[in-house]
Structure 1
Amino acid sequence: MFPFCLTITLIVFFYKLRKTLIDMGIQIHMYQMKQLKNKSQRKLESLQKNEVKSFNQKVIKFIEIGEILIKAKKEKLNPYKILEQKIGWDNIIFEIEDAKKLAKSKNFSYLNFIDTRYNYLRNYSPDFLKYFEFIPVKSSLELMEAIDVLRLMNNRKSRKLPVNIPVNFLPKKWKDYVIKKDGKICKRHYEMAVLDEINNEIKSGNMAVKGSEQYQNFEHYLINKEEFKITDINNYQLNFPENFQTYIKERKEKLQSQIELLKIKLPTSKTAYGLNGKIYLHKLSSEIPDNTDEFINDIFKKIPQIKLTNMLLEVSKWTNFTNELSHLSNGKKVNESELPILLSTLLALGTNIGLSKMADHTYNISYHQLAYVSQWYLQEDSLRRAIAQLVNFQHHRSLASYWGDGTSSSSDGMRMKVPVSSFHAKYSKHLGFEKGVTVYRAVADQFQSYYTKIINIDSREALHVLDALLSHNTELDIKEHYTDTHGYTDQVFALCHVFGIKFAPRIKGISDLRLFYTDEIDSGVKEYFHRKINFNIIERNFEDILRLVVSIREGRTSSSFILSKLGSYARKNSLAQALRELGRIEKTIYLIEYFLDADLRHRVQKGLNKGEAVNALSRKLNFGQQNEYYEASYIGQTQKSLASDLLINIITVWNTVYMEAAIKELEKEGKNRPDLIPFISPIHWEHINFFGDYSFEMKEEYSLHKLRIIKV
C-alpha cells in the first residue's frame, strides 16, 4: 500500500500530465492545419510561378493577333485570311482554350490544393473529435452541431452526410468548396472545414477545451470578479492608480507635456528632424573614448591564464553557488569529493559537449555518475537558484557598480538548431529552413545573465519580456528595460508601465511609427500624429486590466501566456484593444523622448550591446556542438540553456574579481583610468583554456583573500 503523501504526489502528477497531453494534442492539430495551409499555399505559388511564362506567351500571341487585325483594317484586307495564313485557325482555337484555363486558375486559392492532405488528416481526426470535448465560449452553436454530426458519422462509419446539416458557420472562403454548384455538399471538404474552424475558434478564444490548461475560457486565467472586489491593489506595488479618473488625468498631462516638448525642441534638435509628416533620427555619435581598448588590454595583460575547470572551482569557493544544486528527492548537497562530478556535469551541459564525451575527457568519472547528477541535481529550479546566487554576488562587487546599479537590463533571443526530432522545435528560414528553438536571455547592466527560457523559434519575443522582468528572483530591481524591434508591441508598453518599468526598445523603421494624442493638437506638430487615443475603451476595460495585472502578480498566469492569448484573439476583443490603446499612450511618450534625448538613445544602445556581448560568450561556450541542441525535450533544452548561463555568470564573476585586482595594480603603476572603467567589460575569454582534459585538482588553494598572482 502506497504511503499517503506518495499517493497524493502521483495523483497531482497524473492530473498535470493529463492537462499537458491534452494541450499537446491540440497543438499537434493546430500544427497539422498550419501544415495543410502552408503546403497547399506552396503548391498554389508554384502553379502561379509556372504560369507566368505561359501568361507572357499568351500576351505576345494576343499582340500578334491584334497587329494583324490593325493591319487588315488599314489596308482593307480580309482579316480571317491573314490570320489563317500567319497563325492558323487550329492554333488560334488552341491558344484560346489554353487561355481560358489560365484565366480560371487566377481565381484559385490554396483550398484548391487541400485534397491531397485529406487522407493524412483522417489518420487522426476521428479520434481527435471523439476524445476531445469542446466547450463553446463565443462559438457558433452550428459549429458544435457540425462536430456532433461528424462524431455520429465516425461512430456509424457512415460515408454519406445526413440531410440538412449545418453550414451557416462556414466562412465564405470554405463555402465555395464545400457547397457545389448543384447544391450538394462535399463530405471531405466539409470535414476539413470543420477541423479548420475548430482550430480557428480555439486560437481566437471562442472555444475552450475541457481538461486543458492552455485552451480554457480567458476568464479562467484571471482572478474572479468577486475576489477582486475585496483585493487591495496597493499590495501589488503597481505604477497604476485604482481609479480611472486619476489615471486619465495623469497620463493626459504627461502626454500633453511631451507633445509640447516636441513642438518646442524638434525645429532646433540635433538628434532628430521632421520631414513630410515623419520624424527622422540623426546618426548617434559614439560616446566610447578612443583609448578604451588600450586600457582594456592593460587590464587583461595582468590577468593570469586559467583553465575553465579551475575557474569553476574558484568561483564555487567564493560564492557557494553549488549549495543551491541539491538533490531533488532528499535535498542533500554534494560534498567535497563529489564536487568534481557536479562541475563536470555542468561543463558537459553548459558547453554542449555532452555527458558521454565529458566522461571520456575526465579522470575517474563515469558516464553513469554524470547522468545521475544531471537527473537529480541539475533541475530547473536549482539551476535558477544557483544563477541568482552568482547574479547577486556580482551585484555587490565594487567594479560592477561602474557598469550599472542593477536597475536596467536588455533581452534578446539566440537561435539554436535542433537536429533531432523534437515537438518544440520548428522550421525557420533563419536556420536555413532547419528546425530549431530560441534561447531568450535577459542581461543586466552589470553583465549578469539573470533570466533564460526556451521559446518557440516562431514566437514573438515581445511576449516573453515581462516573464524575465517579473520572474528572476534576484536582488536586481529592474526599472528600465531594452529590446530590439522583435521585443516590442503596444501591449508590452502598457504592461511594463503598469508594473513600473520603463520599456525602451530600439525599433527598426522608427520614423514610420504612428504617434497618438489625447485632445486637440497644435497644427505645428499635427502632421506627425495619427489619431486620438480611445480613452473610452480603456475606461470600459479598466477593471479587467487591473484583474489581469493582479493575476500575473499573484502567479496565476504568466505574462507571456496572457499576451499570446490576447494576440491570437480577434482584433475586436475589447480587452486586447484597451491594452493596445494603453500601450499607445506610453509608446508615444517614449518615442518623443527617444527622438529628442541622445542620452536615452545611448543607454538603449549600451544596454543592447551588453546583451550581444553575453550572447557572443554563449556561442563561444557552445563549442561542443556548434549552436545545436541534441536534446529533444523542452526540459532537456532548458537544462542546457541554464547550465550555459551558469557558466556565463561564473566567467563574468571571475573576470570581475580579477579585473578589480588588475586595476589596483595599475593604480600602483600610475596607469589607472577611472574615467574609462564604465566603458570596459568583463566579457572576455582569451585568457581561458576551454579545451583539453578536464581535471578538477588544483595544486594550490585560492580564495577572495588569496587570488592568483596578478602579472606585473
Structure 2
Amino acid sequence: MRIFLPKLLETIEFSGTETSVPILSAWEFLRSIEGKVRPELSVAPLALVNKGWARLVIEANGEINRKAYSFCVLQCLRAALRRRDVFAAKSSRYCDPRAKLLQGAAWESARAGVCRTLNLPPTFEVELKLLTSQLDEVYRRTSANFPTNAAVRIEQEQGRDTLVLTGLDKLDEPSSLVALKQQVAAMLPKVDLPEVLLEVHARTGFANEFTHLSQTNARVEDLHISVCAVLLAEACNIGLEPLVRSDIPALTRGRLSWVQQNYIRQETLIRANARLVDAQTQFRLAKIWGGGEVASADGLRFTVPVRTINAGSNGKYFGVGRGITYYNFTSDQFTGFHGIIIPGTLRDSIFLLEGLLEQQTSLSPVEVMTDTAGYSDVVFGLFWLLGYQFSPRLADIGEARFWRIDGKADYGVLNGLARNQLNTELIACNWDDMLRVAGSLKLGTVNASELMRSLQRGQNPSTLAKAIGELGRIVKTLYLLAYIDDEAYRRRILTQINRGEGRHSLSRVVFHGQRGEVRQRYREGQEDQLGALGLVVNVIVLWNTCYMDAASSKLRELGQDLKLEDLARLSPLGYKHINLLGRYYFSLAEPLKHGELRPLRDPNTPDDYEVI
C-alpha cells in the first residue's frame, strides 16, 4: 500500500455526492497526516468504519490503528468509485456523469425540441392523466380475463397474495415445418468459411469499409482477401499463422500483420457491420422474421487467462480465473447490431441503453427483450422516457411488485397484488430534471452506461433516481399486467431471446481456437477481436439467409405451397454445411516419397518465418 498511497493522496482530487461525505472526510484526513511519523489519530473521522472494520481499526486501548484505518478508507473509496458516489474529475471512467447533462441556458434552449422529439409534455400533469387512465384500464382488463387465464393463479404466501405463472410449453413443430427445414437444409451448398466471407463481400462490399489508419486512400491489390483472412483469424481465435501463404501476396505474413495493425479497428468494424445489417434487411425471408423494430440483449462470457486490468472474477462463469462479458444486441432479423466489452460480469441493465443509443446501423429497434438480470425500476423509467419498450423475460414474477395510482380503485382478484401505492408527486417535482436526463441521453452529451451506473448506485439513490424509478414502477406494472394476460406476448419475448442465445451458440462454434479463451490484454484488442467475431457471425447469417431465401423461392417454383408461419420459424444460424475448421491434405511430391528432404527456407526473408 505504501508504494502507491502517497502518490495517490498527492495527485488525485476526489469529489462526490452527499452520501460520500464520510469517505471524503476520511480521505482528507489521510492526506493531512501523510508524511507524519506520529500523527494525532484520535481525531480521525470514523463514520465510515463499520462493525467489521472496527475490530481492526480500533484497538483494545481505544487507539486507532493507522494501517487498518488506511486500508478501510481505501476499500470504502474503491467501492464508492465503482458505484459512482465518489468521482475523479479528470478521469474519463470515474468522472461525474451528471456534470455532462444539459444545464442552464443549454437546457433551456433544448427543452422544447427534446419534448417534441420524445413526444412528452413539459409538465407531468397531462402525462399523469394518461398514465392513470392507461393503468386503470389494463388492471381492469387483466382482472376480467383472469378467470379464463389458465396460465396464472394467485396463492397465499405468508398471508399475502402471490402470483404464480406457469411456464410456456415448447411449441410443437407441424409436419409441414419439419419437412421445410429438411428441404432447405438439404439445398444449402457445402462451403468453407473463407468462401463465405469472400462471397458476402462480393455481394455487399463490406471489406471496402476497412480503410488505412492514416486515412489515406492507399489501396493494395486483393486487399479484401487480406481483410477477410484477418477477420477469420480473429473470429476463429486461431491467429494468423494457419492462414499464411508465402506464394499468395495477399496472404503473406507481412501483409496480414500490416492489415491487422492498420485496418482492423472499432471504427472500421462498425462500418462494415452496418453494411451487413443493412443488406440483411433486403431479403424477403428476413422481413418475414421481423422488421428490425425488436431486439434482444444478452452477455456472452469469455475466460481471459492472461493478466489484464480489463477482466473481472466470477466463480460461476470463470471458475478461479477472470474473464469478460461481450454484451451484444440481436435484431429480430438475427443480425447483431452492437456489442460492448464488460470486465467481469457487471449488471447487464447498466449497458442496455448504451447499445440502443450508440448503435450505428440502419435499424431502429423500439423494443428490447432481456433476461431477468437486466431489469430494474430505473431501466423501465428511462426506457419509457426515451420512447423504448423494455420487455424482460421474468423468471421470478412472484417476487415482482404491482403498483397502483388510484388507491381506491377496485381491481377484483388483483386487489391483493396491487397493494403498493405510487408517489406521483415525486415524479411531478422532478419531471423537468427527468426530461433533462432523457434529452442529454438522446443528444449524446452523456454516456448512457455511466449515467445508469450513477442512478443505480448503492442503497442511497438520489432524489432524481428515485423519481425515475417511481415512473418506472408505473411502466413496469403496465408491462407485468400485459405479460401475465397475453401468452402470445410472452411467446414473442421468448422467441427473440432464443434468437440471441442461438447467435451465442454459433459464436462459440466459430470462436473455437485456444479453448475459446480471449488472450488479448488490452480493452482495444478485446473489442477488435470480439467485434470481428460478431461481424463474421453476421456474415454467416447473411450468407445463410441469402441461400435459404433462394431455396424457398425454388420450392415455390416447383409448385410447393410454403406457409408463412413455417417460414417465420426458420433460422439462419445453422452451420453444419459450413467448414469452420480448415482442410487437411494428405499427398506428397514424388521426391519426398523416396526419402528426399524438402528445401530449407531462406533465413534472409523474415516475412516468411517465425523465430523459434
TM-score under structure 2 length normalisation: 0.88
| CA 1:204–1:536: 2 relative to 1, 3 Å | farther
Secondary structure at the aligned position of 1:122 is classed as: coil
Say which one has the larger Rg: 1
Q: How far apart, CA to CA, are the structure 2 residues paired with 1:586 and 1:184? A: 53
Structure with higher helix content: 1
By how many angstroms is 1:148 displaced?
A: 4.3
Q: How far apart, CA to CA, are the structure 1 residues paired with 2:23 and 2:265? A: 44
Given the alignment of the two structures, is residue 691 of structure 1 paired with residue 577 of structure 2, yes or no?
Answer: no
- What are the equivalent positions in structure 2 for 1:467-616 lying under 5 Å apart? 467-520=354-407, 521-522=409-410, 524=412, 525-616=414-505
By how many angstroms is 1:462 displaced?
A: 1.3
Q: How far apart, CA to CA, are the structure 2 residues paired with 1:321 and 1:143? A: 51
Is the 1:143–1:166 contact (alpha carbons within 8 Å) kept by the matching residues of 2? no
**Cα-Cα RMSD:** 2.4
| CA 1:163–1:275: 2 relative to 1, 3 Å | closer
| CA 1:362–1:350: 2 relative to 1, 3 Å | farther
Is the 1:483–1:506 contact (alpha carbons within 8 Å) kept by the matching residues of 2? yes
* Residue of structure 1 in register with 2:35 after alignment: 155
Secondary structure at the aligned position of 1:422 is classed as: coil
Given the alignment of the two structures, is residue 134 of structure 1 paired with residue 14 of structure 2, yes or no?
Answer: yes
Secondary structure at the aligned position of 1:382 is classed as: helix
Secondary structure at the aligned position of 1:568 is classed as: coil
Given the alignment of the two structures, is residue 464 of structure 1 paired with residue 343 of structure 2, yes or no?
Answer: no
Is the 1:355–1:370 contact (alpha carbons within 8 Å) kept by the matching residues of 2? yes
By how many angstroms is 1:501 displaced?
A: 1.5
By how many angstroms is 1:206 displaced?
A: 4.5
Question: Aligned to 1:208, which of 66, 87, 91?
Answer: 87
Q: Deviations over 1:266-325 (max 9, x none)?
A: 122133222221222234244453222321110121121111111111111111111211
Q: How far apart, CA to CA, are the structure 2 residues paired with 1:594 and 1:553? A: 28
Is the 1:204–1:570 contact (alpha carbons within 8 Å) kept by the matching residues of 2? no
Give the counterpart letter for 2:410 in structure 1: D
* Residue of structure 2 in register with 1:375 after alignment: 261
Given the alignment of the two structures, is residue 347 of structure 1 paired with residue 232 of structure 2, yes or no?
Answer: yes
| CA 1:183–1:693: 2 relative to 1, 3 Å | same
- What are the equivalent positions in structure 2 for 1:392-403 lying under 5 Å apart? 392-403=278-289
Is the 2:97–2:446 contact (alpha carbons within 8 Å) kept by the matching residues of 1? no
* Residue of structure 2 in register with 1:423 after alignment: 309
Is the 2:455–2:461 contact (alpha carbons within 8 Å) kept by the matching residues of 1? no
Name structure 2 gaps, 5 residues minimum.
586-612
Q: Deviations over 1:128-177 (max 9, x none)?
A: 21222223553677755643443354334x1x222652335344424454
Is the 1:237–1:499 contact (alpha carbons within 8 Å) kept by the matching residues of 2? no
Is the 2:246–2:252 contact (alpha carbons within 8 Å) kept by the matching residues of 1? no
Q: How far apart, CA to CA, are the structure 2 residues paired with 1:533 and 1:420? A: 49
Given the alignment of the two structures, is residue 387 of structure 1 paired with residue 273 of structure 2, yes or no?
Answer: yes
* Residue of structure 2 in register with 1:62 after alignment: none
Q: How far apart, CA to CA, are the structure 2 residues paired with 1:585 and 1:691? A: 51
Name structure 1 gaps, 5 residues minimum.
1-120, 696-712
| CA 1:467–1:135: 2 relative to 1, 3 Å | closer
Is the 1:408–1:478 contact (alpha carbons within 8 Å) kept by the matching residues of 2? yes
Q: Deviations over 1:512-544 (max 9, x none)?
A: 211111122326222112411111221222111
Q: How far apart, CA to CA, are the structure 1 residues paired with 2:269 and 2:16? A: 41
| CA 1:282–1:239: 2 relative to 1, 3 Å | farther
Question: Aligned to 1:449, which of 330, 336, 339?
Answer: 336
Question: Aligned to 1:256, which of 114, 136, 148?
Answer: 136
Give the counterpart letter for 2:10 in structure 1: K
By how many angstroms is 1:551 displaced?
A: 1.3
By how many angstroms is 1:216 displaced?
A: 3.1
Q: How many aligned residue pairs are there?
A: 573
Q: How far apart, CA to CA, are the structure 2 residues paired with 1:522 and 1:405? A: 39
Given the alignment of the two structures, is residue 227 of structure 1 paired with residue 111 of structure 2, yes or no?
Answer: no
By how many angstroms is 1:210 displaced?
A: 3.5
* Residue of structure 2 in register with 1:190 after alignment: 69
Q: Deviations over 1:687-709 (max 9, x none)?
A: 112222599xxxxxxxxxxxxxx
* Residue of structure 1 in register with 2:594 after alignment: none
Q: Deviations over 1:539-588 (max 9, x none)?
A: 22211111111111121222211111222254242111112111111111
- What are the equivalent positions in structure 2 for 1:202-351 lying under 5 Å apart? 202-203=81-82, 205-235=84-114, 237-276=117-156, 277-287=161-171, 289-291=173-175, 292-332=177-217, 334-351=219-236
Is the 2:85–2:454 contact (alpha carbons within 8 Å) kept by the matching residues of 1? no
Give the counterpart letter for 1:337 in structure 2: D
Q: How far apart, CA to CA, are the structure 1 residues paired with 2:243 and 2:434? A: 50
TM-score under structure 1 length normalisation: 0.76
By how many angstroms is 1:227 displaced?
A: 1.7
Question: Aligned to 1:166, which of 33, 44, 47?
Answer: 44
Q: How far apart, CA to CA, are the structure 1 residues paired with 2:541 and 2:575? A: 10
Q: How far apart, CA to CA, are the structure 2 residues paired with 1:547 and 1:561? A: 16
Question: Percent identical across equivalent pairs?
Answer: 29
* Residue of structure 2 in register with 1:659 after alignment: 548
* Residue of structure 2 in register with 1:40 after alignment: none
Q: How far apart, CA to CA, are the structure 1 residues paired with 2:261 and 2:494? A: 40
Is the 1:341–1:369 contact (alpha carbons within 8 Å) kept by the matching residues of 2? yes
Q: How far apart, CA to CA, are the structure 1 residues paired with 2:212 and 2:420? A: 58
* Residue of structure 2 in register with 1:3 after alignment: none
* Residue of structure 2 in register with 1:411 after alignment: 297
Q: How far apart, CA to CA, are the structure 1 residues paired with 2:584 and 2:466? A: 56
